[in-house]
Structure 1
Amino acid sequence: MDPFSFAPLAALLDLTSSGLMALTSLLTPLAGPSAAAAAVVLVTLLVRAGLIPAGIAQARAEQTRARLAPRLREIQKRHRSDAERLQRETMRLYREEGASPFAGCLPLLAQAPVVGLIYAVFLHPTIGGHPNALLTEALAGVPLGQSLVRAVAAGTADGATWLVFGVVVIAIAAVGELTRRLLRPAAIGPDASTPRIASGLLGVLHFATAAVAVFVPLAAALYLLVTVAWTLGQRLVLRRFFPLPAP
């Protein structure tokens, strides 16, 4: 069952579609045939700008985790055989410091509904009882509602499709690699391998984001590219204001 068949979600989808169409019309004199893609990029930038306070909270939480790393390692050594005690003592330490180990998840959770709406609005052929005009919009000749996997399966993947998706996917992967190299996590575990493990997991996460871009509509892939690039830039800037302690 399509969740957007429920009236509240259907109304939200219709509002999103109308807003993107209005923004597309506004940007057409500047962006021409790529106005809808520019609208998606602009919406992404507005969402990320609205999440700057959450990004600041994330930077502060990262700084706190780095500062608490020696004490966390000591707790892990002391209670490694008692998972329940380990969790209790870890949470007690965070409470004493007025911090939360989950603060870094806020930006991701906050923008999840926006990603879902952009994904959905480019999947539905009809919205609000009328044809979805956004599905006629394209970037460099590639429909914004088209995914690379679907185009390959349908045999419609031409050179433009491969080029546009290739640029987007490679750019996401490149930003992910830069993020892994420039923003290595602080050591928290009981040995020096922890930063390498965490850095490896971060690389896998960004590789997964690039892989997801192959399966979602081009509009959603553009959202992913802009948001990972924004995230990297924002975190580099915030590192100057909330530097991590020297190891």
Structure 2
Amino acid sequence: MSIPFVDDATAVVYSLIVHVAGALAPAGGVATAIVLCTVALRALLLPLTLAAVRGERSRAVLAPKVRELQQRHGQDRARLGTELTELYRAEGVSPLAGCLPALVQAPFFMITYRMFSAARIAGHANVLLTHQLFGVALSTRLIGGGHPLVFVPFVVVLVGLGILADRRARRVAAANATAVPNGIMRVLPYLSVASLLVVPLAAALYLVTTMSWTAVENAVLRRGLPAGGA
């Protein structure tokens, strides 16, 4: 199915990956290009991440006031929501600021998926489909594509990173007096593992790279927060 904006963006990123991969042919080619382009994307998103960290620190400072409001209006959810909104507005804090980096990354994941699943890009044969990692085509999928062992390292890494993200989310919630993640929110850190069943190997490489970057950001940029570093 053709999606105009996604197709146009895919054509641009595709051309970039092909050129970078050509320059890096002796050092991993397309696989290395995916890692470097992902790192470049995350570096460009650093201003958003820093803003999210500042917001998180501000919410941690406001935690005692939030707990006080919860005790005062805990039986009136509508009133509590209004009071919390007014508190955050008065302090210039956005409770959703931390979501921006993830939202901006979503289109790039879609583009990576398309680059390694579409037979033709911008009217030309997709040359990326033949490139390999560990002797397996980067377009290979776990379901229907074979070579399950090549996905094992990605599964192990993503499960480990998911556990770190889950633990940190719970500590952040406790420190900021917000709801502890439950239900669908509890499994969000592990959705990347489930996605390995259907995404190309190239997308798995992107996921491991970007989630590893996030883990390093948490350890470095969020050091000293009440929630801890991981």
TM-score scaled by length of structure 2: 0.88
Give 1:200-219 correspondences, 5 Å limit: 204-219=187-202
Distance 1:199 1:37 in 2: 36
Q: Sequence identity of aligned pairs in percent? A: 39
**Over the residues paired in the alignment, what is the CA RMSD in angstroms?**
2.3
| Residue 237 (structure 1) shift | 0.5
Q: Which residue of 1 aligns with 2:210?
A: 227
In 1, the alpha carbon distance for the partners of 2:153 and 2:123 equals 35
Q: Assess, with a 3 A threshold, how the Cα gap between structure 1 residues 243 and 3 changes in structure 2: closer, same or farther.
A: same
Equivalent residue number for residue 244 of structure 1:
226
Contact between 1:180 and 1:202, CA under 8 Å: does it hold in 2? Answer: no
Per the TM alignment, residue 80 of structure 1 is displaced from its structure 2 partner at its CA by: 2.8
Matches within 5 A, 1:124-163: 124-151=118-145, 157=146, 161-163=147-149
Structure 1 spans left out of the alignment, 5+ residues:
152-156
Counterpart CA distance in 1 for 2:59 and 2:195 is: 29
**How far has the Cα of 1:74 moved from its partner?**
2.0
TM-score (structure 1 length as normaliser): 0.83
Change (3 A) 1:133 1:116: same
Give 1:154's aligned residue: none
Separation in 1, partners of 2:186, 2:81? 26
Q: Which of 52, 64, 73 matches 2:67?
A: 73
CA distance in 2, matches of 1:40, 1:55: 21
CA contact (8 A) 1:69 1:186 kept: no
The answer to whether the 8 Å contact 1:14/1:127 transfers is yes
1:1-20 map, 5 Å: 2-4=1-3, 6=4, 8-20=5-17
- 1:34-183 matches, cutoff 5 A: 35-151=29-145, 157=146, 161-181=147-167
How far has the Cα of 1:217 moved from its partner?
Answer: 1.0
Judge conservation of contact 1:126–1:132 (CA < 8 Å) in 2: yes
Superposed CA offset, 1:153-206 (max 9, x none):
xxxx1xxx222211111111112223444673242448xxx6xx4399776222
CA distance in 1, matches of 2:62, 2:10: 43
Structure 2, unmatched stretches of 5+, are: none
